[in-house]
Amino acid sequence: MIGGVIINKLITHGDNRGFFREIFRFPEKFRNAPVGQISHSFVNEGVLKAWHSHKYQHQWNYVVCGQIKVVLIDYRKESDTFREKIEFLAGEKDNPISYYFPPGVLHGYKCTTGPMQIIYLTSGIYDLDDEIRTPREEIDEIYKWI
């Protein structure tokens, strides 16, 4: 597991009226963390969005509908888990989870069942200077999308 990454299996309480699901329940260490922006993205099936990380920004994600294959790669040179990767499915029905990653963790996803909608909760507002783009060729040594 990549240091600092959190994956929360979500509990759904449902009946014939619908369901209720807590998306983000912040542990003690995040209770005073700043929230800078909440974003919503709509993505068509088959679309791949990768690779970038952030210098300062922390991020929490939740897939509202559809499904994605998520890949996280630790690109923090000072980290004990440098260059480790994890991949998992996140989706509305089969695997309702929320996930968190700290700054310096490369992230990408491919929409496997779409259209897909995802909510991003970030610790800062969008700032191009905070974003670290990584060429796909550099990451191909570590991970190749299938």
For 88-127, write each residue's pLDDT tens digit. 999 987 789 999 999 999 999 999 999 999 999 998 888 9
DSSP symbol at 56: S
- Residue 144 confidence class, pLDDT cut points 50, 70, 90: confident
- Residue 36 contacts residue 75 (beta carbons within 8 Å): no
Q: What single-letter amino acid sits at 18?
A: G
Average pLDDT over residues 21-42: 79
Phi, psi angle pair for 138, to nearest 5°: -65, -35
Rounded CA-CA distance 145/115 in Å is 19
Query: Which domains are present in the chain?
Result: 6-139 (2.60.120.10)
User: Is the overall model pTM greater than 0.75, yes or no?
Assistant: yes
29 backbone dihedrals φ, ψ, rounded to 5°: -65, -15
Confidence of residue 30 (pLDDT cuts 50, 70, 90): low
